[in-house]
Homo-oligomer: A and B are copies of this chain.
Amino acid sequence: MWIYEKKLQYPVRVSKCDPQMAKYLMEQYGGADGELAAALRYLNQRYTIPEEVIGVLTDIGTEEFAHLEMIATMIYKLTKDATPEQLRAVGLGDHYASHDKALFYSNASGVPWTAAYIQAKGDPMADLYEDIAAEEKARATYQWLIDLTDDVDLQDGLKFLREREVIHSLRFRECVEILKADMSTKKIF
């Protein structure tokens, strides 16, 4: 089970009302390689992955929920002072017509999140490469998002998140090595 602590993992600041960037950030909220996908992917794999790496999946999966909350906060801050007219101007009129300024788990094009984005195979190597790929893809998305804004406050948060994906990718690679060593040991004896 989880306990909620009322603080963000890392402070979220934005320099201005920028609904256009909010739209793009939805990619990391409800998109294919976003934080929701990441959190759900890792936590779901815990039941059939070898015991040695369950802890890593729990840790990273839980952290991804904290990232999801950071993205939500960014989107909220970037849109809270926007008028309907401003939302229309940046292509969020469709979002507004359905959700007003509420958030929703859809990607930047408005496509609702689907579990088809993620996978769990019950094969440890397949699952870990799924996870490494996920982190590499999330890293790329953060790069494209950083490229899309000149708001240094927002960039600061996005860079923190990008950096975490790099670290997660390394941790999953370590898990691969741990399991390989483990399999090799088992084969010997």
Contact = CB atoms under 8 A, between A and B. Distances in A.
A106 B98 contact: no
Contacts of A95: 109
B98 A105 contact: no
B122 A101 contact: yes
A91 B91 CA distance: 8
Interface in A1-31: 1-5, 7-9, 20, 23-24, 27, 30-31
A136 to B, nearest CB: 4
A32 interface: yes
Contact of A110 (B36, B101, B111): B111
Contacts of A183: none
Q: Is the interface of A mostly helix, strand, loop or mixed?
A: helix
A105 B111 CA distance: 14
A47 B102 contact: yes
Tell me how many chains of this kind the complex includes: 6
Contacts of A108: 93-94, 97-98, 110
Chain A interface: which size bin? 35 or more
A103 B97 CA distance: 18
Given A44-B105, A65-B1, A119-B32, A24 B72 contact: no
Contacts of A86: none
Interface string A45-83: 101100000000011001001100100110110000000
Interface of A: 1-5, 7-9, 20, 23-24, 27, 30-33, 36, 40, 44-45, 47-48, 58-59, 62, 65-66, 69, 72-73, 75-76, 84, 88, 91, 93-123, 125-127, 129-130, 132-133, 136-137, 139-141, 143-145, 147-148
